[in-house]
Structure 1
Amino acid sequence: MKHILLIDLHSAAHELFHQLTAQGYYVHQVDNAFDALIKMETLTLEAILLDFAVPKMDSFWLLVARQAPTPIIVIADANNELERINALELGADDYLSQPVNVRELQLRLNVLKRRSQPAINDVKPAQISFEDDTYTVNLVDKPLVLTQTEYRLFKYLFERQGEVVTKAELQQRVLHKEHGRFDRNLDMHISNTRRKLVKGNLPREMINTVRGQGYSFSF
């Protein structure tokens, strides 16, 4: 369940509450800074929707709120340009105008989420770790659970990153069998591993096919 903190006083907030709930969000609605801070400290939130009209929503409070990793989206008056600028200057991640369009809110949340995730091109070897007992690879804090064979193939290619590893070598060192001309067992394991990478929002190109030679691992 995705939790959203809604800090709002307007009557329109009730409509927004029901719309978000219908979309599968669990909405925590408060009308003061004190209750908002309690929610921030006790919940893992998808986003904070903040209306400046709520009492004590001054610059000091917003600066405190900025210490949280949760995206803060200010609900601003569409006709008040200064309010929108002020919100961004104080550290808000984004703003929406009244009345809030839930579909637009979801799209903006997706954008903020992508911005907060490190790009795969910035991944360093130190950010990849292996759990041999559970056959799990942790890539930028994303766990990738593999079968024993898939795990051994991934780890072997990772340890030889930058090199082209032939199919014959992988068959012998990982699958412990000779590579037959019509044997597609190795290709099947590689294909399944790539499918799991994609499912985990990771690029399948981490395991590259080098035509006529074998496979290589790259970031």
Structure 2
Amino acid sequence: MADGARVILVEDDPTVRRLVEAYLDAHGYETVSCANGIEGRAAFAQAGADLLIVDRMLPGLSGDDLCREVRAASPVPIIMLTALRDEEHRIGGLELGVDDYLGKPFSMKELLLRVEAVLRRTRPHSATQTFTVGRFTVDPTRRRVWTRGQEIQLTAREYELLVFLLHNPGVVLSRDEILAGVWDWAFGDGSTVTVHVRRLREKIETDPTDPVHLRTQWGAGYIFDPEPQP
């Protein structure tokens, strides 16, 4: 699964940093370790990465600020690590545009599974032909989406969410079904879906507060209409 994927790990705890680096390297990843946000920013600017793993509490440049900077420049997938496990902090992390959020302490096996899932989702699918559903045109090879001739700038996870919805038009989908289809999670925190739906609406809806494409079905989940009637 690794295929030599380049991972930038930004973690100020030297013990955690050494353990994660050794574990990922042993599973075929090229891991670049950074002790603070400033080093992480420089490493990404110099050579990029297939994935960033960022601790939220960092000296110098916080994990939040690093994620904001990276996300403003690139859709590269990001996994955030944090000792802040309550829902408010988890949602705050997701609002930064990260793709996954893993609370400390965590097992190396769980981290590896999250890394594999994120990278699997962000690589081109076997179907590489451009396709159109309603107002949306998708190029799976380049992982790009357009609507009415305008490209939509999406993070890796937002892209996966939109493509999943495009493959299920008019179907009422629960948050658990979306977690399984987009995150590969058999169970998880539904607020993850809520945050990503809100972020996606901000990019595809004319008025995110009154959505016409991605609507809420109260008590059931969400329903997606790629070609709503005027």
TM-score (norm 1): 0.50
